[in-house]
Structure 1
């Protein structure tokens, strides 16, 4: 007897819905199939012509059994009832009598055409012929039909469409109602991480699992069988971690040993070791893409980061379970490999920079270096300090040079120490101890510099005054030397006084400003330390370095002491002498009331066409006094109350901004239970009267505005005379005496006459960035030789950029080319050829990347003509060079960097066609 097909409830329902409307009242349905759903579900109802009909299904294997079942049904429901009896079984049609068949619908057993039923359920006209032979697929589609039915497709129901719908209904992978489902390894691995989908897949019958696996392998790749085998084994959540481990094991120095351990982890899910390679490749590809999403930031990036961390931490746990970890220390993806490289870097921090830089390169090469950005940046900061320790002591022969050098270089040392003092998020004891030792070495050297500076300060203070500053910019001259020049020709600077802003805070704040919004500038005639040009201004605070004397002197433009009333009167008098009206806002005066971010009175003054506006912001000084934890080293605009709003308001009013301090501060990094240093004549946290002792210096002269012109000030950073706070000022250390003076103009405004753009590259010492190139490069190439500012001594690798030896630099060859000359005719007011050539040569020397200000500075150095709007200059360069839309030169990294494509430059301007 041939095997009859099986029919479940849904197949019977569809059969009844099709046959009963034209059955002329018959209530017996003979089905040529066996019942597939067991004893459950034999009684149900179907809707026929809007009425519910009760259905009972019975299996019978003989004509007598069918007759008895029909008689019982009639007795139970009555001759006029509407209940339907469905009889399934193995009785051939020719064994049924005509009296029984006369009661049956169509008077014969009805065949169950599963292909036809599936076609009907999808509302299709035809069925993919391949599906007719796949009983497992037809049965699964009948069994898995969603409560709302299958989506209507019309036309032909293709096998792929049916399988996608089945996959969504059975495992939750996709949407049954979608027209299509983008299935790839990413989708499959992401699905494997959820608990429900893999569990539902494991519960499927073996033929269905096998069919879906075969199809998914065709659609998504060779990784699918192993992944689905893990899901069927109840280990779907480990599919991606195991794939990562497989990749690590295949690439380790002992793949055979690692492979054996992997076999125990995969178990029966691994059909053969040959399957590991495609599986590992798919898993690492997925994770690499997730890492890229995480590095992009934003909410989606945060979600991707959480997924990556969870997967990799689980992979490390599995590796530890299988004793694989010692074999995978060189892996570029596992967290354990990152930690191994981090420890290797820690072991180099007691030595010279070479080994530390090599270890940093290896750390940065790890795929998690960006994902663990804080840890990587902290390690990079440590290497910077190792480089600084290896540099010669700065040659600061005067107080003025010393404060400029502190703002340019040693202030960054203080910033780096603060970053390192926070400790690493890994809480690795070995790494923490290495950082601790490095901080100790740096502080010892910093104290040597502070001690030498304190001696020079004592000598200088004896005679220094506004009439004889001896080469230093005094704090009482900052308004005259920096603010007043910004006010020439109708300029309206906003003078922002950040009380307590030391050099480390200043350089961090400046680095955080968006170059698309602000361009840093400095007086065109300034000369930085070691002959560097240009340079930031740094002033010497009034003594003692406390707010009452130093801030008052700053705002009055003359030596003074007093509170807010003195400051307001002095500020008004200073500007009145220069025939300008002014207004000064203190804390509480510029903060907006409910509904206002800034006080309306301040906004009104900023909108004034002539008024000079000053604002005093106390956030930093208050935070130190109120106990802000010294472990937090970074200060950005968002950390300082209303600073972002003040800058936005200034930019909206087209005002330049002078960002200045009144004094700096030192942080308390001593033991929390350490008490103050016992001393006589205590006047403040860091100064007193009486003879100087260890770590102190005696200061006397016209610039000492307390205690009858004679005080004793601490220069050691760990001395204090009062109760513990987060930080202190009043002493004689470089950090406290140095007053940063930073100037900015809105990037869409012209640079004032007498000022020049200050490229970010020129504000960063070599030990910080490790050589030439973009400031943010962790391990840049060695610095190329230069001959004066902006002029490049062509390196051998650049000489072959244009195959025309002896005809000048690449930049000069570009501006001589016919393509450039033709393009130049279409650009309004193009810059001089000399400026363009110098900008291109500077970019090529730096490896193709510089800030807009540095590009403009190179052009200015070559022509002597000020490029007073760096962003506009770069925009014009884009128009000149990007012929036919090819991006030879473009702004990247949110406008922070100008990128020059060397190969496109060669192709466009030597007759070659871009690829």
Structure 2
């Protein structure tokens, strides 16, 4: 093959100049033959600063004209021409230097120039293949990766030919089959492959594909054979189809037979010959990984996935619909997996809570399989099914705790704690399990579990109402329960006025926010603000939940909240009431400023203001003029009229103005108190208006002739007292969720169910440690996190029924609240009674005793704390939260405070000895022993 076929490229000119410089030549006029016209710059500057002029001359006349008009100030002149030596006359040759003849592009030197190399390994490429190879590379790029150490090797040439020719966007050095499969669905993959097959010399192509095979795992053989035989089209879809050929140890005989037939069909359809299970599995894994990559990049692989499902199910393809459940991406595979979840859940429910330990593991296995499917990812349609199934399992775990410990809390405050710490999460799960799903079978079983839970909740609502109708109707009978009219004095004032100074506070009243909605919103605050806002709960758990005024409606309960006393009225009463309360709270303090309260219309007017000073944020940030800013946010209450609360997951961005207010509060360093005025119940389409009629959806006036002690209807209660804000301080309040007196809406309030009467009180801060220190004497606070908010039955773990024992760790009815304000515990845990004595001498170790003294745990000494650690250590250094909570008889807030103190005692200088790991408390025994210089004594012992 003639070298003249090589077109002149800039690299060839530069290579020629480098050669001349090596011969001590610093100028030249060189004629270079090229089959194609020069398409580069007419003048360019080299790295050494010298200038190069490149001229075109297609005819002898044009050549003569060029040679007579050279710029003598330019040292390097190259004339690109199709002319040969026979076309030159003597006067033309006289003007050329140092050569008097036409120069041809040297293939080897051009190859070296292309790769910035000085040598090439013998046998890398045949001399005759160089022109077409370089032409192939030049078709796609002018830049080739320099050869390592300046030596062109077969592997480097092969990798560059494939990377450049096929348009790879990934580096060839770390090539994986996933990279190759992902490339195969790019828009130009087939075109590039065809060009490689037709435009590259056979020897170079074979060497490149050989390198590709060596670079990938040996398990990629089947995919590579498919690529060579069929090109990139179908590489991903057949890989996805190959996933159903995975050997399944749990397969039935029919499934095993179907797999064998499908494997034969796969070999024929893909023309890959006999494939091994490893080859098919590797191909399938790469295809699945490629799908996830494509999805993350914002491209939709749905069409390809549907094609893959057709390959699996088609009669003329694999005909393996019975194996579709093995596909982790095909929609039909997810549908089968969800049906298996439904079947396992039904078996668990049929077995009853007492058989749950044996029946729950198949449920978890089915759920894991569903979550592993692409459609089980959050944000995709199938996530709804999984969330509903998760909710059903959680409800079943909660029902188990009731079967093993059916006691109910005593007293109004106990019921409010139960609603906030456990029943609010039950409400969330009922909603999630109740809603429609893609599977009729799954919907049937989750609805059945939700109905059982609703019955249990209804019983608790009635028991609560029996107590609350009496003790909650009168301030004198409410006991330690926090009443909504006392929230300003009991919670807001300590945060606002500390040590004779006024601290900035933002009070957010989210009208209609139930304790369940508060759980969702706190999660959203965490994720939206990436953990910058921290929830701080009072160690006195009674301050976490308030009791609404009766009836539980806005004009009575919200007005009382913002007035700091029992009151009825509209927005003008609320503004006057908050202003009066603030002046009383800061009485005698100079420069205290004024409180400001925004209602819906105020916020909308401020939000649309065109002047910066009139916006919402500047007012919140002005802590000197307005130390207390309050805002009423109506989104949740408004939604009860026109949306579906069952299917609603409340987030920061759902609540109008909330994000802006929290951002401004963070910049101003305000503590945020987020509270509601009442909760709500949802409509499940199972109720009709009561024939008794009513003044509102969930309450009605007591008839003039009806005494307060007269028996109310089965599903409602009569209340009488100073906290019943009607003209005669009497009313009938609905209790059962499905009782309403007026037309149907999406949700209701006004009654006396726990969900309506319980008001969440939340404290948020971006400087939690500073706030804890400031409040240490007036209202001690514990920092909460997502894990600690959940009740003990919430965590999804297969061993729940084994570790949960006989009680619900978070149910206050089984562990009455302690009387001390620290809210901690008196230990009553049986230590290990045989085997090695763990951490010998820990309770008397001076360092340990000193740490305990510096961070005391109420009612505990060094010995009892050492026993806690021995209990964890004896359980392989890990103990589930729920188990330790039950052993210690603690609620969530109490348990959180205990764990926080244990960390301060043990995690010295940042060395982690004790930690939270998911739902477990973990102990680093070796670090504990080393930290306090302990020893381990073996033998049998009782006690310490």
TM-score class, shorter-chain normalisation, is: 0.7 to 0.9
For the residue of structure 1 that corresponds to 2:769, the secondary structure is coil
1:668 equivalent to 2:648? Answer no
* In structure 1, distance between residues paired with 2:872 and 2:534: 19
- On the 8 A contact 1:516/1:747 being kept in 2, the answer is no
1:727 equivalent to 2:753? Answer no
1:469 equivalent to 2:470? Answer no
Aligned pair partner of 2:837 in 794, 800, 806:
806
* In structure 1, distance between residues paired with 2:301 and 2:359: 28
Aligned pair partner of 2:761 in 741, 745, 748:
741
Pairing of 1:96-135 with structure 2 (within 5 A): 114-133=107-126
1:368 equivalent to 2:384? Answer no
Quick one: structure 1 residues 135 and 845, their matched pair in 2 at CA, closer, same or farther if it must change by over 3 Å? farther
Equivalent residue for 2:573? Answer: 566
Equivalent residue for 1:96? Answer: none
Quick one: structure 1 residues 439 and 86, their matched pair in 2 at CA, closer, same or farther if it must change by over 3 Å? farther
- On the 8 A contact 2:485/2:560 being kept in 1, the answer is yes
For the residue of structure 1 that corresponds to 2:565, the secondary structure is coil
* In structure 2, distance between residues paired with 1:583 and 1:643: 19
For the residue of structure 2 that corresponds to 1:699, the secondary structure is strand
> How far does residue 454 in structure 1 lie from its aligned partner after superposition?
3.7
Pairing of 1:373-522 with structure 2 (within 5 A): 373=378, 374-375=383-384, 376-390=386-400, 391-392=402-403, 393=406, 395-424=408-437, 427-460=438-471, 464-470=473-479, 472-486=481-495, 487-490=497-500, 492=503, 493-514=505-526, 516-522=531-537
Quick one: structure 1 residues 505 and 132, their matched pair in 2 at CA, closer, same or farther if it must change by over 3 Å? closer
For the residue of structure 1 that corresponds to 2:566, the secondary structure is coil
TM-score by length of 2: 0.70
1:586 equivalent to 2:586? Answer no
* In structure 1, distance between residues paired with 2:301 and 2:800: 26
Moved more, 451-460 or 616-625: 451-460
Quick one: structure 1 residues 401 and 124, their matched pair in 2 at CA, closer, same or farther if it must change by over 3 Å? closer
For the residue of structure 2 that corresponds to 1:145, the secondary structure is helix
> How far does residue 546 in structure 1 lie from its aligned partner after superposition?
0.8
> How far does residue 500 in structure 1 lie from its aligned partner after superposition?
1.0
For the residue of structure 1 that corresponds to 2:736, the secondary structure is coil
* In structure 2, distance between residues paired with 1:624 and 1:478: 25
> How far does residue 412 in structure 1 lie from its aligned partner after superposition?
1.6
Higher relative contact order (CA 8 A, sep 6+): 2
Equivalent residue for 1:217? Answer: 213
Quick one: structure 1 residues 245 and 404, their matched pair in 2 at CA, closer, same or farther if it must change by over 3 Å? same
Quick one: structure 1 residues 780 and 666, their matched pair in 2 at CA, closer, same or farther if it must change by over 3 Å? same
Aligned pair partner of 1:700 in 677, 697, 720:
720
> How far does residue 395 in structure 1 lie from its aligned partner after superposition?
1.1
Q: How many residues are matched?
A: 800
Equivalent residue for 2:622? Answer: 604
> How far does residue 816 in structure 1 lie from its aligned partner after superposition?
5.0
Equivalent residue for 1:93? Answer: none
Quick one: structure 1 residues 230 and 55, their matched pair in 2 at CA, closer, same or farther if it must change by over 3 Å? farther
Quick one: structure 1 residues 685 and 709, their matched pair in 2 at CA, closer, same or farther if it must change by over 3 Å? same
Quick one: structure 1 residues 166 and 906, their matched pair in 2 at CA, closer, same or farther if it must change by over 3 Å? farther
1:200 equivalent to 2:192? Answer yes
Aligned pair partner of 1:757 in 774, 782, 801:
782
Equivalent residue for 2:661? Answer: 646
CA RMSD of aligned residues (A): 5.4
> How far does residue 288 in structure 1 lie from its aligned partner after superposition?
5.6
> How far does residue 172 in structure 1 lie from its aligned partner after superposition?
0.9
* In structure 2, distance between residues paired with 1:238 and 1:907: 59
- On the 8 A contact 1:473/1:540 being kept in 2, the answer is yes
* In structure 1, distance between residues paired with 2:444 and 2:477: 48
- On the 8 A contact 1:454/1:732 being kept in 2, the answer is yes
Moved more, 249-258 or 733-742: 249-258
* In structure 1, distance between residues paired with 2:219 and 2:408: 63
* In structure 1, distance between residues paired with 2:929 and 2:284: 39
CA deviation string 1:365-418 (max 9, x = no partner): 336269524343332111112223342455144444333322222222221122
Equivalent residue for 2:554? Answer: 547
Quick one: structure 1 residues 471 and 304, their matched pair in 2 at CA, closer, same or farther if it must change by over 3 Å? same
- On the 8 A contact 1:247/1:281 being kept in 2, the answer is no
Pairing of 1:814-833 with structure 2 (within 5 A): none
Pairing of 1:63-78 with structure 2 (within 5 A): none
* In structure 1, distance between residues paired with 2:298 and 2:101: 64
1:709 equivalent to 2:729? Answer yes
Quick one: structure 1 residues 467 and 153, their matched pair in 2 at CA, closer, same or farther if it must change by over 3 Å? closer
* In structure 2, distance between residues paired with 1:586 and 1:851: 45
1:161 equivalent to 2:190? Answer no
Moved more, 563-572 or 393-402: 393-402
* In structure 2, distance between residues paired with 1:423 and 1:399: 35
* In structure 1, distance between residues paired with 2:512 and 2:780: 26
**Structure 2 gap ranges (5+):** 21-28, 43-52, 61-80, 87-98, 704-711, 810-814, 816-823, 936-944
Quick one: structure 1 residues 645 and 474, their matched pair in 2 at CA, closer, same or farther if it must change by over 3 Å? same
1:358 equivalent to 2:387? Answer no
CA deviation string 1:701-727 (max 9, x = no partner): 332212533333333323334444332
- On the 8 A contact 1:404/1:536 being kept in 2, the answer is no
> How far does residue 313 in structure 1 lie from its aligned partner after superposition?
5.7
- On the 8 A contact 2:513/2:677 being kept in 1, the answer is yes
* In structure 2, distance between residues paired with 1:133 and 1:780: 72
- On the 8 A contact 1:415/1:633 being kept in 2, the answer is no
Moved more, 112-121 or 489-498: 112-121
CA deviation string 1:624-678 (max 9, x = no partner): 23x133343322333223334434444555544333221111122317xx8x626
- On the 8 A contact 1:290/1:305 being kept in 2, the answer is no
* In structure 2, distance between residues paired with 1:28 and 1:602: 77
Pairing of 1:26-425 with structure 2 (within 5 A): 50-54=54-58, 84=83, 114-133=107-126, 139-146=132-139, 149-151=142-144, 153=146, 155-174=150-169, 181-203=173-195, 204-205=197-198, 209-234=205-230, 236-252=232-248, 253=251, 257-267=258-268, 269=270, 271-281=272-282, 283-284=284-285, 287=288, 303=296, 315-321=308-314, 322-327=318-323, 329=325, 336=332, 338-347=334-343, 348-349=345-346, 350-351=349-350, 352-353=352-353, 354=356, 357-366=360-369, 368=372, 372-373=377-378, 374-375=383-384, 376-390=386-400, 391-392=402-403, 393=406, 395-424=408-437
Equivalent residue for 1:97? Answer: none
Quick one: structure 1 residues 837 and 314, their matched pair in 2 at CA, closer, same or farther if it must change by over 3 Å? farther
- On the 8 A contact 1:856/1:873 being kept in 2, the answer is no
* In structure 1, distance between residues paired with 2:647 and 2:671: 30
1:622 equivalent to 2:638? Answer yes
- On the 8 A contact 1:536/1:763 being kept in 2, the answer is no
For the residue of structure 1 that corresponds to 2:372, the secondary structure is coil
> How far does residue 859 in structure 1 lie from its aligned partner after superposition?
13
* In structure 1, distance between residues paired with 2:633 and 2:282: 55
Equivalent residue for 2:63? Answer: none
> How far does residue 566 in structure 1 lie from its aligned partner after superposition?
2.0
**Structure 1 gap ranges (5+):** 30-40, 57-81, 88-105, 295-299, 527-534, 772-776
* In structure 1, distance between residues paired with 2:674 and 2:11: 84
- On the 8 A contact 1:607/1:653 being kept in 2, the answer is no
- On the 8 A contact 1:227/1:236 being kept in 2, the answer is no
